[in-house]
Structure 1
């Protein structure tokens, strides 16, 4: 009884000391956001947009208006430099998605991703200059095989678990990122999509492949949809990446998962962009495997 009374008094003291605190967040100027990638056998893709306020009300019209146009975007390898061209893809009535890629009218200098090749990116927009560098490494971490098994404790007997067997070469420094694709859907990265080799260095190992996570949907919708089912055709994409790309996605995904969690440690997203901009430039050495799960 005395203990209960003491807890009650302590609780009252906390309530009596409670004070409402209002934070007035200053509005910040939009920053250039760069999402640039190059993959072995593929043309470079660069998406330029302006950042928006965290508490902004987002609409399709607003998203369509954040793209940055008429920038000078150049990519170089160890042999030549190519200026990219801006393209537009219609995504709805009066709405377009914009990106920069190979200029089809200047194919003599066009650059396609190659293994073990370094690249630099230079951007000029609104009289400001930005740059970044990346590497497409060799494909060192190999996918040996993939298969499926019934999901444990699945009373519906419709779900499937995908397993991958992979080999990591001896020597630290093999970083990877993975995606999965179901049927005709797009490739989606995992919720935690990047890994190093600190624990599995030089070993052959098996692990469960988590379905990709659609960051444009709610957590509850992802929990329902991020599963494999019998009858699915599943593709797995595994890419070797350099450390800068690994650091960007490691910190980006941690920040994404910790939003709204008062107990999480604040994290700064690590970018490899030089200049007052957000984002990253990443190279991917990719391999693909496909699995058909029977009904």
Structure 2
């Protein structure tokens, strides 16, 4: 399995962490459990658990986030016929590098999956259904104007099939990770797609890097593109997440809108995906 949608930045974004402009001091607020979980058609369930950074008037170091990982929770997934307990393990190809997963259950389109989490005084549950996978028909590279090294990536899907569907685009860069991250402006309401219109895939908007955001991809990049067919509840989550990234100039500012998660008893998401993944190396056309 090489499909990853979790975003560690969500810990701070959803928690609404406020960092003062002149100092590393905050006002008191209770920590919450943050859930990032998904199951793809044909894939295994993956769950990442963290605690939100506590809002406190005491000085906090934010350069080491390992203490916010939840490593000893009881996590299980049920498909209505059987219930499987997930195993927690270290995996450096994810970030944070600790996941709960199992090889004893694969996602099946049309089935409903219930997530159950117990950790200390926290108990969280969520339910999701996996839609059928809608394949990517074609991927096209287009060199950006005034640049020899930057490229736009565009893809085609069946717009007639997409009319009543919702999608989220994810990208994974490099060859030795499973970090699928939500593409910038990658939440798509299929009803708004025009017939035969290409969809542009943008690089993830990672405000935490401190670097100038560039939405395009570089020459020789190795890229995996994931088109996830999702239900409307998951679409609400990802569109809210994308909107907050678009409107926020700084990762450490509170989001401008509440993000509509689907986890009861915690913050976050549990998302079933009919996912098609395609791989591409950014190259110039042969002259």
TM interval, shorter chain, is 0.7 to 0.9
Task: Describe the superposition over 1:237-281 as per-residue Cα deviations: whole angstroms up to 9, x where unpaired.
Answer: 1110111111111112222333358xx993111011112x11111
CA contact (8 A) 1:237 1:286 kept: yes
CA contact (8 A) 2:26 2:55 kept: no
CA distance in 1, matches of 2:242, 2:133: 23
Equivalent in the alignment of 1:101: 101
Change (3 A) 1:143 1:129: same
Q: 2:237 aligns with which of 209, 233, 248?
A: 248
Structure 2: state its 5+ residue gaps.
Answer: 1-24
- 1:213 to 2:210 alignment: no
Residue range with higher mean Cα deviation, 36-45 or 172-181: 172-181
Change (3 A) 1:82 1:209: same
Task: Describe the superposition over 1:194-226 as per-residue Cα deviations: whole angstroms up to 9, x where unpaired.
Answer: 11123227x332133223333541251x32xx4
Compute the TM-score of the two structures, normalised by the length of structure 1: 0.74
Task: Describe the superposition over 1:35-68 as per-residue Cα deviations: whole angstroms up to 9, x where unpaired.
Answer: 11111222111111111136853122xx111122
CA contact (8 A) 1:181 1:212 kept: no
- 1:45 to 2:70 alignment: no
1:120 Cα offset (Å) = 0.5
1:233 Cα offset (Å) = 3.9
Q: 1:147 aligns with which of 134, 140, 145?
A: 140
Change (3 A) 1:100 1:215: farther
- 1:132 to 2:126 alignment: yes
- 1:57 to 2:50 alignment: no
Equivalent in the alignment of 2:275: 286
Structure 1: state its 5+ residue gaps.
Answer: 1-23, 105-109
CA contact (8 A) 2:222 2:282 kept: yes
CA distance in 1, matches of 2:98, 2:224: 27
Q: Which has the higher contact order (CA 8 A, sep 6+)?
A: 2
Give the root-mean-square deviation of aligned CA atoms. 2.8
1:152 Cα offset (Å) = 1.9
Structure with the higher strand share, 1 or 2: 1
Compute the TM-score of the two structures, normalised by the length of structure 2: 0.76
Q: Secondary structure at the match of 1:65?
A: helix
Corresponding pairs, count: 250
1:76-91 equivalences in 2 (<5 Å):
76-89=78-91
Q: 1:189 aligns with which of 163, 170, 182?
A: 182
Q: Secondary structure at the match of 1:256?
A: helix
Task: Describe the superposition over 1:3-41 as per-residue Cα deviations: whole angstroms up to 9, x where unpaired.
Answer: xxxxxxxxxxxxxxxxxxxxx964111111111111122
